[in-house]
Amino acid sequence: MVGAFDGPALVGMVGFYREQLLKRKHKGHIWGVFVEPSARGQGLGRTLLLRAIETAKTLVGLNSIQLTVSVSQTAAHRLYEACGFRSFGREPRALGIDGQYVDEHHMVLELDGLPPNFLFA
């Protein structure tokens, strides 16, 4: 987890985990991306995401990071694309609450061949 604080208050976060199964250890996942509404529009989400990616890139053998984002979250989708993620599929009815369903985009960032300072250059 990477977090951002305003004094003692958590105002943003990004989670990362790496697959543990032998045939999947080359993949990691971004999850739990959130920025408090009062802290949005200041680049905090991008900063947190890039910090999580830079930390993940230090893991030996990791060559891709995946995430999902609901189709209704256009600002988040643009952020992920700006950070190098690309869509590779859409899952219909991926999320469901009380009979309401939302599709999700599946996205990936390929780490192979990226220069060490790719994200912060």
Fold of 2-110: Aminopeptidase (3.40.630)
Report the pLDDT value the prediction gives residue 116, as an integer from 0 to 100: 59
pTM of the model: 0.89
Give the pLDDT band of residue 101 (cuts 50, 70, 90).
Answer: very high
Query: What is the overall mean pLDDT for the chain?
Result: 93
Report the pLDDT value the prediction gives residue 121, as an integer from 0 to 100: 47
What are the extents of the domains in the chain? 2-110
Q: Do residues 2 and 18 touch, judged by C-beta distance below 8 A?
A: no
Contacts of 37 (CB under 8 A, 6+ apart): none
Checking if the pLDDT of 94 tops 50, the result is yes
Distance CA 59, CA 79 (A): 23
Rounded to an integer, the average pLDDT of 99-114 is 92
Give 40-84 pLDDT, tens digit per residue.
999 999 999 999 999 999 999 999 999 999 999 999 999 999 999
Q: Give the 3-state secondary structure of residue 32.
A: strand
In whole angstroms, what separates CA 56 from the centre of its chain?
Answer: 11
Report the pLDDT value the prediction gives residue 112, as an integer from 0 to 100: 83
Percentage of the chain modeled with pLDDT above 70? 93
Tokens of 50: 């890039």
Q: In which element (H, E) is residue 48 found?
A: helix 44-56
